Structure 1
Amino acid sequence: MGCGRIEDITHSKKEDQCICDVVRAIKDIQDQAVSDECPACPTNCFLEPLGGLVSPSRNRADTRVFMLLTKDGTPFKAFFRDNDVCDHDCVSVFFRVEDIFDGCCATLRVLEPLDAHRKEVDLLNEDGTKINLRKLCKVRNFDSTGSCITVDLNCFCAIECVADVFLDVCE
């Protein structure tokens, strides 16, 4: 029942679980985290092994960073607890899959967006009400947070894989 389609939930079809399948594949790839040859398409979410997305020379990666898009095409956002008490950059659109269960539910770790110098990127617009899409272009690195959310993956229309990174996340 993703993307705002009105369907009977009891008649859920395999083809209606596109995002579920991709997130499940990302989880499998993260779990394998082995080295291999460079593939042809550098941003394919199904790309194996972990470490081959965007930066094929990266040998040490434990996370495939991705964004989820809602039915109107906007990035799904979540809050995270920031260790800095002086700033207000506690919203992110970047995630790491931690678990998938009950068919199409997932626990996602919210990732903190960082720039090329590993400084925090505040993704919100000036009045703090929406994601400023131009600020997404400043994001080059990520940091793990202690914040996780549980989502129904059927509620999203698209997934975009962003990067493979090493976050030193304990499995």
Structure 2
Amino acid sequence: MGCGRNDDAVGHKNSKGCVCDVVRAIKDIQDQDIDEGCGQCPTNCFLEPLGGLMSPARNHSDTRVFMLLNKDGTPFKAFFRTSEHGDRHCFSVFFRVEDIFDSCCATLRVLIPIKHGGHIANLLTDCGTEVDLTNICKVVDWEASTSCVTVDLNCFCAVQCIKDVFLGICD
């Protein structure tokens, strides 16, 4: 069994991997309006209902924030643009799934990482080419950007759910 792939009983590779299944489940959970259920892992991506990652208190949520990890274990990053905050810190590793199509492709909304004080968190190293993992820990909130990226979910090895939040995004 390879990263993100499952072998079937005959040893052939299936066309979709676990990252695709998880992101599809996140989309389904975001689209549901149920209010029950708990899981053993508080950040399990399959935890229902939406809002369940905010334990112990559940608030109204419309987004399950998640990260994707590349096959080398590094967080996948994408560019976002916002005129309100300027373009200084314009990369994020946080996403909201908007659509899944063609078996395992997805449109993801890039979420703006916010640190204490309401400022955008700079997630990149000083040279600006790699993600600084310590800066990810400074993120306490997210805002919806107008930037989206279309990805092949088979290109990723892992998905990590972070938190359920309300971003005021209409379905």
- TM-score relative to the length of structure 2: 0.88
Q: C-alpha offsets along residues 47-104 of structure 1, whole Å, 9 cap, x if unaligned?
A: 0000011434122000000000001100000000122464511000000000000000
Q: Alignment identity in percent?
A: 63
Unpaired runs of 5+ residues, structure 1, are 6-10
1:88 matches 2:88: yes
1:57 matches 2:47: no
The separation in 2 between residues aligned to 1:139 and 1:72, in whole angstroms, is: 23
Unpaired runs of 5+ residues, structure 2, are 6-11
Q: C-alpha offsets along residues 12-66 of structure 1, whole Å, 9 cap, x if unaligned?
A: 406x510010000000000014322443320100000000114341220000000
- TM-score relative to the length of structure 1: 0.88
Q: Is the 8 A contact 2:4 2:19 kept in 1?
A: no
Structure-2 residue corresponding to 1:105: 105
The separation in 1 between residues aligned to 2:165 and 2:44, in whole angstroms, is: 15
Structure-1 residue corresponding to 2:134: 134
The separation in 2 between residues aligned to 1:107 and 1:87, in whole angstroms, is: 22
The separation in 1 between residues aligned to 2:4 and 2:106, in whole angstroms, is: 19
Q: C-alpha root-mean-square deviation of aligned residues, in Å?
A: 2.3
User: Number of residue pairs matched?
Assistant: 166
Structure 1 stretches of 4+ with a deviation exceeding 4 A read 2-5
CA shift, 1:170, in A, is 1.0
Task: Note closer, same or farther for the CA distance 1:85–1:39 as it changes in structure 2 (3 Å cut).
Answer: closer
Q: Give secondary structure in 1 for the equivalent of 2:170.
A: coil
Structure-2 residue corresponding to 1:13: 14
Structure-2 residue corresponding to 1:8: none
